[in-house]
Structure 1
Amino acid sequence: MKNNNKRQMKKHLKKAATVLACTGMVAGAFTTTAFAEDAEQITLNVSHIFVDQTDGQCRGWYKALDEYKESHPNITIVEDTADNDAYKTKLKTQLAAGAVPDVFYAWGGGFTKPFVEAGMVENLDPYVEDGTIDLDAMMPDICNNFYYDGSLYGLPLDSFIGVLMCNQSLFDEYGLEIPKTMDDLYAVSATFNENGITPIAMGEKDKWPGLFPFGALALRYGGVEKTITMLNGEGNFDQEFVQKTAEELQKMVDEGVFASDSVALTDDEATEEFRQGRAAMWYSGNWKVDLLCEEGSPLEGKLTMVNWPAVSGADGDQNSFVGGASATLVASATSAHKKEAVEFMTFMSEHFSNYAYEEGAILPTWKYSGDMELKPFQQTLLDLMQGADGFCLAWDTLLDPETADVHSTSLQGIYAQQMTADDYVEAMAATR
């Protein structure tokens, strides 16, 4: 979404002012009202993928749902659930039939776009303007992937953040500082290489891990808005910031920032190289941080987490992150109870964010308002998210499948030193 559109939207926000007296949390975006006994009895049909009761996201969902039901006795929620693949098939069948539930789980970017274009998803802009949805209560730019033609159509569920994980003991051993700029990164990498330590572990055999450094560099050179605009189909890939990003990645490979055998390692194998102290750094999403920090891990008490280094003099966003939200709740534009459907999805989005985060299943999509004592690594990740200037998912999440394959395959070629930055840009430009 364009920044000026967001500012205009926020300018017209009417702040919700009612305290939600449930589990000690303040609801910054949703006002719970006391329902009279004679309130209209309505039913909302809700579809989602939370079927595994052992999963933290599932537990978070039902904790939020129980709370909603208790505070809305006049509303009956009828659930229709399926696991991931079966659910996607069912939704596409409903799209073809022109009928969807009142509220349904979806994914941003290209997945939800056909539903929006078919007029089946409720535009949420009016609900932002009247204060039902408070964007200021959410993490910055967390809804980026749910805007279509400048309007908001979904609210976030899960979220992640890409972090540079550093073995602090190795940095201390060689008298090095955690890198804040790319120049710093090249300098510490040279020292680690001189001492037989891989600077950054990389499992590029799986292709997707190598997308993360590239995505971070693109944000440094191009910024969040320009990057997302391009990934959503506006303009080609032969832009200066893409060229500079590819050149920087090629320089990193040529100067040995990554191990020469990175294309022969899986992500799990690269993670173990970092875990065992054979690599000084590792860059990925937050999903393995708990395992790296756990009691008995070789990295217990040694892990420092920071954002990807800045690029001095670059025009992009130096404090933005690879990450954000892809899963979303959307409301049907043909629902007989659109207002209640939007209020339900707003309530669930916010409360799920708190509860699933407390379960350790996600990073919050709303600013955390719970009172649980967080583990140190959770607090560090939360602080990084709350201080971010914006987020962009890894490119393969936003691109169509064919272009995403060209992207990941071409980047693997750079890591293998079989393709150049020019080759990458040429291959990507050919997709459009």
Structure 2
Amino acid sequence: MKKKICAALLGVCMLFSMSGCSGAPSSVPTPTVSSSTAPQGEASVSEEPVTIKFWYSANESDPTDYWGVWHRENIKLFQEMYPNVTIEPTVIGDATQYLTKITAEIAAGNAPDVFQAWLFGRLTPFVEAGRIEPLDDLFEKYPEMQEIIPETSRVPGSVDGKVYALPCQSSGEVIFYNKAIFEENGFSVPHTYEELKEIVAKCNEKGIIPIGMGNDCVWLGSVPYSMYFQRKFGNELYNKALIEQQALFDSEEFIEAGQELANMVELGFFTPNANAVKAEEAQASFKESRAAMYIDGTWRAAPYYEALGDDLGFFNFPNVEDGLGSSSVWIKSFDGGLAISADSTKKDVAKAFYAFMFSRERQKAYGEYGALLATTGIELDPDKVNPITQELNEALGSTTESFGIWDNLLGTNLGAEFNKTTQAIIGGKDLAELFATLNKNAQLEWEG
């Protein structure tokens, strides 16, 4: 068993990606802090000088990267409240590189005290290896966490009934679009897949990139695949394969969806040579109005609004003719997980800092940057939250049916293999061979 876990820990490679290849976001409001923000019941978290290490991924060169700005504020404010504590950050801009490095540190037993983590199946191997500290005691020690973190936000980071990581944000995958480009060219938000194809064709005629994609960040190409799959085949086969873990990836439905992704490439849906394009380059094409649409996570709503203002809109992937799915079904998940190392020698201080980040006031500050919070009961100043974030909250909050991001649900190794499969489809590789390999890997992982 230990050999199997070590293999899982060491097997994470550069293709293993976190949702969002980089952080990013809006205007920076003044940070708020008060005595009530301090972990409750603690006059001092340490009487002696102590240093804790904190790792996360953010774009330090971008002053509007709200994930990075928020964490810098968290560090600054916590140290001001507790002068004996020094928080030593390590910030890695590229999320794929971050995950490679943090995985190696965790596997070696050298994980930082507090670190940005992942959730669902990707978390499990590290928990089973005894590398992650359970957090259940925090809910008793810091009552505010019990009040604002609902059960639904605890599930993604739970293993065998214990909580090991908490998400900072809820999220979804949507198609963002430039309203000005749509209006100038007479486009309407598509309600069917055929209508979307028509928009793509007209964009190509006019020299506009239809949908920006930088699939150098390998998970991005998996999203249109999973969106189309749901619209065409509904949720039954998805549930069997991804939830019940039946190895069915070589069935004709998965291959047919792969063929449609290949068709999208042939029809010019995406940035040319998308597999060689970095996410930041493709995002810039959308921000600069060179691309009409962009498929991305809701955590990027704030930077896109910063660039496009009221010209930014979004819609869900449209219905497919005779399909079993529906555009009323959204992709929903959780992101921005944080964890504490089980090997930390300063757990009391690490947990106090962790609780500080999940205090009501610090969550309020993060929400006012434009994040869709995973916490509840946080009163945000409506003047500080952009309209697109409010619309996303309403759309995702009102949906009665959703499905998760495939690579997260599939876990560390199989999720990476799925992303590699969709990247290879975009690169023109043989479909039957790709899905046979994916299914074989699923059999090995699920059936032993």
TM-score (norm 1): 0.65
- Matched residue pairs, number? 391
Q: 1:392 deviation in Å?
A: 3.4
Q: Give yes or no for the alignment of 1:309 onto 2:318.
A: yes
Pick from 222, 239, 244 the counterpart of residue 211 of structure 1: 222
Q: 1:95 deviation in Å?
A: 5.7
Q: 1:325 deviation in Å?
A: 0.8
CA deviations 1:342-382 (Å, max 9, x no partner) are 4642331355544345446x553334533252233333344
Pick from 218, 222, 242 the counterpart of residue 230 of structure 1: 242
Structure 2 partner of 1:162: 173
Task: Call closer, same or farther: CA 1:70–1:326 in 2, change over 3 Å.
Answer: closer
- Are 1:166 and 1:305, in contact at CA under 8 Å, matched by a contact in 2? yes
Pick from 36, 46, 54 the counterpart of residue 52 of structure 2: 46
Q: Which amino acid is the alignment partner of residue 167 of structure 1?
A: N
Distance 1:373 1:150 in 2: 37
Q: Give yes or no for the alignment of 1:104 onto 2:114.
A: yes
Distance 2:402 2:105 in 1: 35
Q: Give yes or no for the alignment of 1:190 onto 2:198.
A: yes
Q: Which amino acid is the alignment partner of residue 82 of structure 1?
A: T
Q: 1:105 deviation in Å?
A: 0.9
- Are 2:407 and 2:416, in contact at CA under 8 Å, matched by a contact in 1? no
Q: 1:94 deviation in Å?
A: 6.8
Q: 1:120 deviation in Å?
A: 4.3
Q: 1:108 deviation in Å?
A: 1.9
Q: Give yes or no for the alignment of 1:254 onto 2:263.
A: yes
Q: 1:387 deviation in Å?
A: 4.2
Q: Which amino acid is the alignment partner of residue 197 of structure 2?
A: S
Q: Which amino acid is the alignment partner of residue 63 of structure 1?
A: E
Q: 1:329 deviation in Å?
A: 2.5
- Are 1:353 and 1:363, in contact at CA under 8 Å, matched by a contact in 2? no
Q: Give yes or no for the alignment of 1:284 onto 2:293.
A: no
Q: Give yes or no for the alignment of 1:347 onto 2:359.
A: no
Task: Call closer, same or farther: CA 1:212–1:259 in 2, change over 3 Å.
Answer: same
CA deviations 1:267-301 (Å, max 9, x no partner) are 56655765677764331234665555446xxx554
Q: Give yes or no for the alignment of 1:153 onto 2:164.
A: yes
CA deviations 1:57-89 (Å, max 9, x no partner) are 344224335555677x6x954434334469975
Q: 1:47 deviation in Å?
A: 2.3
Q: Give yes or no for the alignment of 1:64 onto 2:74.
A: yes
Q: Which amino acid is the alignment partner of residue 48 of structure 1?
A: F
Structure 1, unaligned runs of 5 or more: 1-21
Alignment of 1:234-383 (within 5 A): 234-238=245-249, 244=253, 246-251=255-260, 253-254=262-263, 258-259=267-268, 262=271, 264-265=273-274, 266=277, 280-286=292-298, 289-290=301-302, 292-294=304-306, 301-309=310-318, 314=324, 318-321=328-331, 324-330=334-340, 332=342, 342=351, 344-350=353-359, 351-359=361-369, 363-367=372-376, 368-371=378-381, 373-383=384-394
TM-score (norm 2): 0.64
Alignment of 1:60-139 (within 5 A): 60-65=70-75, 77-84=85-92, 92=104, 96=108, 103-109=113-119, 112-125=123-136, 132=143, 137-138=148-149
Q: 1:411 deviation in Å?
A: 2.1
SS at match of 1:321: strand
SS at match of 1:49: strand
- Are 2:190 and 2:318, in contact at CA under 8 Å, matched by a contact in 1? yes
- Are 2:368 and 2:384, in contact at CA under 8 Å, matched by a contact in 1? no
Task: Call closer, same or farther: CA 1:132–1:222 in 2, change over 3 Å.
Answer: farther
- Are 1:320 and 1:390, in contact at CA under 8 Å, matched by a contact in 2? yes
- Are 1:24 and 1:370, in contact at CA under 8 Å, matched by a contact in 2? no
